[in-house]
Structure 1
Amino acid sequence: MGLADLIYATERPEKVTLYFKQGSSDKVYQAQLIAEQDMQRAEVRWTVRAAYGRRGSSMRHISKLQGDTIYYTEAKAVYDKLVQSKLRKGYSPGPGGTPFNATKLHADYAAVFDSVNRPEPTGWLPQLLNQVTLEEAHGIYRGNEGNILLQTKWDGERRAVMCNVVGRTTMHVKIIGANRKGLEVPLTDAVRGTIDKLCMATTQILILDTEDMGDYLVIFDVLKYGREDLTRLPYRERVIYLRAISEALSEMNTPFLMVDMPFKPLSFVEFCGYIEDAKERNEEGVVIRVGSTEYLPGKPNTGGGLYKLKFKESATCRVEFIHPTKSSVGLELFDEVKQQWVSVGNTTIYPNNTFPDADDIIEVEYLYAYPGGSLYQPVFKGPRPDIDEDAAVLSQLKYKKDS
């Protein structure tokens, strides 16, 4: 009896190749729903396999199902969920890698694609920060004395806000939020209402770079004010527009939008004092800006004039498993040397947090890591739907100094 004889007429293997091309990212993700024959039991085991990586480079291969016998319906559900999650993150079935927003698709994938709430690309991409040590931060100040601006490193999700007053007879404000990948995401009604008033009270056209803290947004940069594109201005000049936003919000007296006005240290003592004050406030870290820096999307390989000094270590991890009896999940990271996923411990999910699913990408705060072992004192910070699993790598960990 062959494999074809064991498969019901309604059961069929599936596969799809998805692409993501945006900024410096050019990635491929392949998913397969596969039937395998168990020769001893004379039955079929369905499984889901995936491979991903940069286009043209070696792919990482993973299996999404474990166990002796997996029925088609179970494997199909895992496969569909996997494809949907990639489409929501902006992957596309077209090799051009344009973030997915097509309506006419290959019949094999139409049912899966049509069930996705498809995000639209906005055209915005964030300027990213390079992480530095305290010693490196001191060097940055000394090399740019008099041209340094400091802000808090906020512990939320990156969010751009684009608003524009449209209409001639009946004017209204069109508001769009964008995540770290530049894909459209919703904003709360309270935030949208406040942005509506801000846009009407100022210039009627705004693009703001913010951090979404859940109930409110923190604005730390202004990229467009009226019809003027500010991205080619040095940050010290964009601060003028940031101050105008701050003054408008102070008159509105709203809790849903706030501005993080940068601090300019006049001496090395003031520079160090700002960092120590942020530590005492238990902030995540400090953002260090060279005042002459323009707004360029992506992260430079070195330097770039925009840095983050973090006081607490955090890691982007993939959920390995859900504990069957405890409110916790297993964590895993991809070892780029051995080309395999490795366990790095467990973390508790408290009742006030959204419980993640297996294979979800989450952020975990920790004190340090043991080489070849687990994270020490991991704390679940939240899901990271805006980040792919290729960020969950072992090389990101910071190890105990005396290890």
Structure 2
Amino acid sequence: MNTKRTFIYSDDKSEKFWTIDIAETSYTVTFGKTGTNGQTQTKEFADEPTCTKAVNKLIAEKTKKGYVETSGEGDIIPATQPAQPKEAPKPKAKKEKKVEPDATAPSSQTSERQSTTLYFRLGSSDKVYQAELIPATDGSGYLVNAAWGRRGSTLQTGCKTPNPLPLDKAQAIYNKLISEKTAKGYSPGDDGALFVDTDNANRVSGLLPQLLNVIDEELLEQLIADPLYCAQPKHDGERRMIKESQTGVNRKGLTVALPEHLVETFSKHIHGIADLDGEMEGDLYTTFDILSLNGVSLREQPYSDRLDTLYKHVTPTDTFALIETAFTAEEKRNLYERLKAENQEGIVFKRLDAPYTHGRPNSGGPQLKYKFCASATVYVIAQNEGKRSVQMGINEEDGACRSVGSVTIPVNYNIPEVGQIIEVRYLYAYPQGSLYQPIYCGVRPDMDKEDCSVSQLKYKKSL
């Protein structure tokens, strides 16, 4: 008789499943991220005792790593129960579960809903973790969802229950999440940024950002001297547009959640209903352009007029800033020298008579940037086992993946998953080789794999 056992693992970084289907002299394991088909491996043995011993060893290894066994319906099996393959015949349990009246009918407690927001601060680490227990929409049980990440950034989200569970089982998982986080130093508090969700999350907003091309040092000097261009600091954050003073929009043009305190700030300190363009850096939002005001589009106006409107209709606060702008050659030179001395990311030049045009020109354009150090958007191709580092990949011109070495992940960051897009700074790149002295800057949920092009690399100059 075959026996199938299922285990799940959840933490801030991943949600995985692991199942083992046990026959008399063989077993088949299936594993992978929750929601995928996973990978399958089968192993044969000479006799049943040898197979049983191997199975028990595997299960012990998984539970030691934090995997929790579930029934075929997703229910958590207490760890104190005996865990012998032949003592838990799943076909019978599944049959009994199927005829229970509350397994297919809405629960009398479907109004039960709980949520908790926890915060963690230590040194440069500033994180938020949100958990919620909600009824499934079809009334078949309850789900536990979670969201986590650096405070002020777009949070990663996930479901901790692959299938709807009875209330007591879902409650146990919810309580366990809160207990684990508080044990790691997370605590509730009113000083953190709660996120305001949107029913239109990840939908097309109608807004798209204007993107900048990089310039070299020769053009930098020309723009400093050119009276048609102003200069502004290049912020090292996440691009975020604001639609109608209340909804966040990422660089892909999709609506995203915003920190609650910013939504309140916008309602109080934007004098009118506006579409803005700016940058999120933790709890701080810096706006550098206004695209519409009270339903009237300003995109065709020259940037100098849009900047005047921005300064007249926005009142800055501690968390809502107006971009610093230099106009004369002397002001631009001073700004450049100061930003470079402060080890900032770079400086931006914008043509004062230009309208707002979304997208990135093939070359040039009315808005340009000069970087003091090189940075690259890459994707994770592997996690280095036993180390806090990942291997990076980038797209060649023909679309093929090229490895550009490894980068260490600081302890105040979660180790990114394979396939995630990340940002790194580096001194230079070796032709057809690795990035030299890369520094991890964080995950870029607003970027796609197509953005990870080899064309962005800065190579070491030949002597």
TM-score, normalised relative to structure 2 = 0.56
Q: Is residue 332–residue 344 contact of structure 1 (8 Å, CA) maintained in 2? A: yes
Q: How does 1:122-133 map to 2 (within 5 A)?
A: 122-133=205-216
Give the CA deviation at 1:316: 0.9
Counterpart in 2 of 1:196? 267
Asked whether 1:121 is paired with 2:121, we answer no
How many Å apart are 1:243 and its aligned residue? 1.4
Cα shift readout 1:71-100 (whole Å, capped 9, x = no counterpart): 6653884569xxxxxxxxxxxxxxxxxxxx
Q: How has the CA–CA distance of structure 1 residues 146 and 196 changed in structure 2, closer, same or farther, with 3 Å as cutoff? A: same
Which residue, 283, 287, 295 being the options, matches 1:215?
283
Does the residue aligned with 1:121 lie in a helix, a strand or coil?
Answer: coil
Q: Which residue of 2 is the match for residue 97 of structure 1?
A: none
Q: Which runs of 5+ in 1 are unaligned?
A: 1-42, 44-69, 81-114, 165-174
Contact 1:154–1:211 (Cα < 8 Å) also in 2: yes
RMSD (Å) for aligned C-alpha atoms: 2.7
Counterpart secondary structure, 1:317:
strand
**Retained in 2: the 8 A contact 1:243–1:261?**
no
Partner of 1:374: 434
Equivalent residues, number: 280
Which residue of structure 2 aligns with residue 313 of structure 1? Answer: 374
1:359 aligns with 2:422: no
Partner of 1:146: 227
Q: Which residue of 2 aligns with 1:331?
A: 392
Question: Displacement of 1:146 after TM fit?
Answer: 2.0
**CA–CA distance in 1 between the matches of 2:269 and 2:332?**
32
Query: Does the CA-based 8 Å contact 2:201-2:255 persist in structure 1?
Result: no
Q: In the aligned structure 1, how far is the partner of 2:211 from the partner of 2:453?
A: 18
Matches of 1:158 and 1:135, distance apart in 2? 27
Aligned to 1:259: 322
Percent identity (aligned)? 36
2:342 maps to which of 281, 284, 287: 281
Say which structure, 1 or 2, has more relative contact order (CA 8 Å, 6+ apart).
Answer: 1
> Structure 1: how far apart are the matches of 2:453 and 2:35?
27
Change in Cα spacing, 1:390 to 1:176, as seen in structure 2 (3 Å) is same
> In the superposition, relative to structure 1, how do residues 117 and 77 fare at CA in structure 2: closer, same or farther (>3 Å)?
farther
Contact 1:354–1:382 (Cα < 8 Å) also in 2: no
Structure 2 spans left out of the alignment, 5+ residues:
1-25, 39-163, 165-198
Structure 1 residue aligned with 2:249, among 178, 183, 187? Answer: 178
Counterpart residue type for residue 313 of structure 1: A
Q: TM-score, normalised by structure 1?
A: 0.64
1:262 deviation in Å?
A: 1.5
d(CA) in 2 for partners of 1:356 and 1:117? 26
Q: Secondary structure at the match of 1:272?
A: helix
User: Which residue does the alignment assign to 2:400?
Assistant: 340
* Residue 300 (structure 2) pairs with residue 232 (structure 1): yes
CA separation of 1:352 and 1:77: change in aligned 2, threshold 3 A: same
Paired amino acid for 2:359? G
CA, structure 1 residues 348+228, in 2 after alignment: closer, same or farther (shift >3 Å)? same
- CA distance, structure 1, for counterparts of residue 274 and residue 238 of structure 2: 20
Task: Kindly provide the CA deviation profile for residues 31-83 of structure 1, in whole angstroms up to 9, marking residues without a partner as x.
Answer: xxxxxxxxxxxx9xxxxxxxxxxxxxxxxxxxxxxxxxx96653884569xxx
Structure index of larger Rg? 2
Whether the 8 Å contact between 1:293 and 1:304 is mirrored in structure 2 is no
Distance 1:133 1:320 in 2: 31
Q: CA–CA distance in 1 between the matches of 2:363 and 2:394?
A: 25
* Residue identity matched to 1:316: T
The 1:237/1:188 distance shift into structure 2, 3 A limit, reads: same
Task: Encode CA deviations 1:220-265: one digit per residue, 9 max, x unaligned.
Answer: 111112233111100011111121145x23xxxx321011132102
In the superposition, relative to structure 1, how do residues 227 and 342 fare at CA in structure 2: closer, same or farther (>3 Å)? closer
Letter in 2 for 1:310: K
Q: Within 2, Cα distance between the matches of 1:79 and 1:308?
A: 44
